[in-house]
Chains A and B, each alone.
Chain A
């Protein structure tokens, strides 16, 4: 079983839709949670970062973490064609002196149709 599971999609939605992207994880020691966005032929770039249970908003994006259920989500409101990309969840441990390696999900490919 993978430490981080992510629905690979692909997911196709009309412009303006609300998008929900999800990851589950098995290691309860994960404390920091991130969402990366990867456009075609580009490297991933950090979209959102949170370390506590609950919601964090940034414009049209909301990251949600439920540590009790080991479940994280990314919501995109009013989705735009420019949001079309692969979204990867990532998480890491709190550990002083460690390299804080990231564990990534496999990514969900999203297409927003105009």
Chain B
């Protein structure tokens, strides 16, 4: 089944404790991205990647890191999480030549 998977689905952590949210897609998509979704603000792009080893900042990159060492994986790293990073996070992927994005199921992160 074609899909984007994220882990974990739910995470509660404390300020300053490094964490990684994994994202994997099995559709051989070139383009992957991370979004956060907050009430009243909609989906905002954090980082995106056009292919292996090619990443760039989205609209709200502060406090986040990403890497793209393999085509299928695009982990999101929070080196020192803060409470304002409490949010619902989505990973998405697509082929470069198409606009349809396929979203993962989301990761709900709470930073205390």
Q: Which A residues contact B (CB, under 8 angstroms)?
A: 4, 6, 8, 32, 34, 41-46, 49, 88, 90, 92, 99-102, 104-107
Contact = CB atoms under 8 A, between A and B. Distances in A.
A4 to B, nearest CB: 8
Nearest to B40: A106
A43 B104 contact: yes
Contact of A106 (B42, B90, B101): B42
Contacts, number: 51
A43 B99 contact: no
Contacts of B104: 43
Nearest to A92: B99
Report, as a range, how many residues of chain B touch the other chain.
Answer: 20 to 34
B43 A44 contact: yes
Given A43-B90, A99-B48, A6 B42 contact: yes
Contacts of B33: 101
Nearest to B43: A104
B4 A43 contact: yes
B92 to A, nearest CB: 8
Given A43-B90, A43-B106, A49 B42 contact: no
Contacts of A6: 42
Nearest to A43: B103
B103 A34 contact: no
A45 B105 CA distance: 10
B48 A46 contact: no
Given A99-B50, A101-B58, A44 B40 contact: no
A46 B101 contact: yes
B42 A104 contact: yes
Given A43-B103, A43-B105, A43-B106, A99 B31 contact: yes
Interface in B27-45: 31, 33, 40-45
B99 A49 contact: yes
A41 B4 CA distance: 15
B47 to A, nearest CB: 11
B103 A45 contact: yes
B100 interface: yes
